[in-house]
Structure 1
Amino acid sequence: MIVKKISLVVTALFSMSMFAQETAELSKEIKPEVKLSYLDSIKSTFKKDDMAARVDSLWMNELVSLDIYDDLTKDIQTINKDVTVDEELPTELLKQRLAAMNAKSPFEIEYNQGLENVIKSFLKNRKKSFSRLMALSEYYFPIFEETFAKEKIPLEIKYLAVVESALNPKAVSRMGATGLWQFMYGTGKQYALKIDSYIDERSDPLKATIACSDYMTRMFNVFNDWELVLASYNSGPGNVTKAIRRSGGKTGYWDIRNHLPKETQGYVPAFYATMYLFEYHKEHGINPERAVVKNFETDTVAVKNQMTFKQLADLLDMPQSQIQLLNPSYKLNVVPAYHGEQHFLRLPKDKIAAFVSNEDKIYAYAQYESLNKTIPTRLAAKIAPKAKPVREAVESSKEIQFYKVKKGDNLGAIADRYNVNISDLKKWNNLKSNAIALGRSLKIKSDVDTAAKAVKEPKSIPSIDKNTDVAIASAEDNDKVSVQTVEYVVASGDNLGSIAKKFGTTIADLKELNNLASNNIGLGKTLVVSKIVTEIEEPVSTAIASNSVDSFKKKAPSAKSMGEDYYVKKGDSLYSISKKYPGVTISDIKKWNGIKDEDIKPGMKLKING
């Protein structure tokens, strides 16, 4: 009996092991099908490059960090040259080192107590900062030196970028000075640096350095002294000439220093102190941090189509922060595509090979992404539409419909069309505000009958939700006229001139339409960029049949309109208006309206008295 039981147990265990083995073999044979994303399918066809880029993420954070800039800028502005600093550096040894620096430099580097105090202050408080700055310098200094050498400018000027921006191309001062060399907006334009909604070349290391070189050359021709050139770079040439006059005609920096602005008094000493620490960092135990990316390890490639840094980072398997570091002049992390202009992208050399080998596939993916994903709200504000709202037939399904946002749309209008709440629209589409981007597909949970009714029975043009971030067109009706306005939300980098150019109007018209007393406009302000007043007759019920959503038909002036008012539209002239009324001349219109010249503006009311 016991033997029989043991036999049964052994048989059962053997059967279980055989079943487990068969199950394992079966699981090996049946593999679940893995669906690749479009990105993965594109990348799987890429030609691979043997060299792989290795980027230290911690060091990348150092490159884009602004904390050194903030600390160093505060130091230079507040440093007191007359306060003795307790730091181990014998005065005689410092004098010897300064004399050695002076021997190989066109600058007049000489010892004084103020300079010693600044050097000791940096040594005491900024050792760690200079260790990080020296890592950054391995990337930027070769760019500076190559440009300065071509223009016969002292290579020591490279240290000025440390004082100005702590070698951060994204540094922006309280006054708006931007980039490695801290150019103000007007100065940047003066030296032909491109500044628009997408690009700010004040942050381009190469182009900004060329502009700096140009400035230095011009100022040296004026002052014939490099120390005065440095002082003029900080405070402007006007302050330097005033200091020369106040000092009785002396032309040495140390002779006129006390007559310069307070910040400039510490500016040149800070420049010399920076030069000293870079020259003698080993003697003071300052160990430069490791620099992973060097300038000679990068190259540029022309980009033919618009694409985002995110798309490039995904395709090339590299951190987006590295693309930002190498291409700081692109403000929105987008490489734009302008008609007739080329734009370049700087990448590590091994990534250049991957880009060029797979260029067509990269552009195809970028286009696919652009068609299937929403664009950033800030970007939508800059490419805002000018035309009237245009509605599109809804792609319907059994339970959920999708609506593609077109020119002039807003959440209120779309919610009204589908008889749903704005809050529901925001919930279904994970919207945090009322802003909707042009081209985005919105999910709408309503029945099919409601959707069909929305297409067949268009309502009148809706009022506008003022919280939207894109330019929008609105209409206000009364018994006689329809007033349509196009609005634009001011974005970073905008000014009245650029907005006027974008919408084909003038600065004067913008100021009049918005009751502006000056050219100053605040970020986020909503501007009326055009206002068109037209007479209306009645709603046109058949408009949707011709793919139009204009709910009103404009009344054309005729002989019967004599004695009525005419509202000037964009593109009108006195000649074109007179032709609309038989027997009416330009002289008649000017006489009836007290017009001395032919200057008329959109929205102006003209009397046609016949």
Structure 2
Amino acid sequence: MPGFFVKLMAMVIRSNMLSLRVARFVAAVMLGLFAAHAAAASDVFPRPPELEHKIAFWRSVFGEYSQHQIILHDRKNVSVVYKVLDFTDVVDLLDDTELRMHKRRIEEQEKAALRSLMLRLADDPSERGLDDEARSIRNTLKTHGLLKPEHLREIAEDLRGQAGLREKTEAAIMRSGRYLPYMEKVFADAGLPVELTRLPLVESSFNTRAYSKSGAAGMWQFMPGTAKRYMSYDEVGDDRRDPWLSTEGAAQHLSDDYSLLQDWPLAVTAYNFGRYGLARGLDEIGGSSLVELIEDYEHPRWGFAAKNFYAEFLAALDVESNALQYFGPLRRDAPDHFDEVTTEHFVRYDTLRRLSRQDAERFLELNPSFSTAVQRGELLVPPQRRIRLPRGHGQHFRSAYARLDDSELFSRQFVYYRNHRVRSGQTLSGLAQQYGTSVRAIRQANGLSSSHFIRIGQVLKIPPNGQRPVIHKVRSGETLIGIARRYGASVRQLQALNDIDRPEYLRVGVRLQVPASGRPAYAWHTIRSGQTVETIARQYGVSVSAIASANALSDVNRIRAGQRLKVPGG
């Protein structure tokens, strides 16, 4: 909806034929629609008065301040702005490295000067001997009731610098046009507010190659541990880098957040902080709202980023909804339209690219999750992987795929080893858990006996885990104990893998990661039209005879659409 207003206003601006009366009418309609949209959004995403100053601050960061400006402000009360450093005049005089170092040096000098001023005012809050700039800062402190000595000494150590994001936000809004139609459909189909599709404005500026120091990656900034619950993340590929697959994962993630917390301000914040961490915090303070957490909860991880995340989201929504006001007319990127096909065998990446009739760059652009090992042919693309092609190319691909020679189709994955250099404190059992394999498999790959010790600096070959992570979706009436028994795991293992302190936090619909060794005795599969026992067996990585035996099938060809089959270990 927000993008609609921008497009409509741009049409009004471009038109030279609108009469003043018509223009006024269109503007009135737009204002009415925008007010209705804003009211509807505020029902889902409320704006507590206690957060208004944060939202206003972040609006100015996203929409007004340049990347060459640094706002020096109070960490706890972000609306208390002491000074804005402007580096615009030196941008063309320095290269990127020199400019970055210059900004950092000046910022630290200015922070030191501010600390000195605040400590001086703590000893003598009068205006004696202050220059105009210092007097202005003193007045700012007085306006916010911070001129008491105890306040001054505290905030002197709580200064923060925030670079403006105006240029990044403008580029992000234009870039978002490529993905938003798909994203909005995914979220609408999941029954989620489509405004949530603007979270990447905060997370990554819609940069699919974004990578943080903490290891979060992609447009939605998934951490590795979380990614394993919501998408493929293994030696074959990293779906965090795929904007379409990661969007589906983000929708599931946010749905699980809301399922536990039943409140969108909390659920949005949980996307940054973790749903179980927020639930623990609410329990500790006996609260039920985000504002209570911000004001009362104390925890080493509960810091600036988490406390401001919801306010940043609302501010980004405001700026995007009013993009015309902030940036003028923008031309958003055209949406990507594509066909999707699904692999039925293990097959080489180059074979799929050849069938797509696309050059290497375009094929990778539409299918960005595949690892370097897959692209180089050291590993195969497995069955049931979705492959994107430019719209209209799907039928040709399917026909060409059906004509592939048996020599180009494989029944199993290549054996592929990673190299790992042993660090201090690491053990074989720890490495096995880290890579999702077994101690025995690592020993066999490296010719180690059961009594063989590993040493720091030793390079070990790590075999592929051979299995995708097991994900269980909680159903009504299930408990952690029952789920653990089903998968042959312990309750403690499930709690550790999913960061669940208390079993009572379990909610229907939430996805749980199960230990790699844990597989249910069987899964149920409902047969679709055109499927055979052979294709179902290939899909689940089991044998035809295993399915036949589990279902007492005397003739594997006598199955029908709608029939349910037990799939052993599925």
The TM-score normalised by the length of structure 2 is 0.45
| Relative contact order higher in (CA < 8 Å, ≥ 6 apart) | 2
The TM-score normalised by the length of structure 1 is 0.43
Structure index of larger Rg: 1
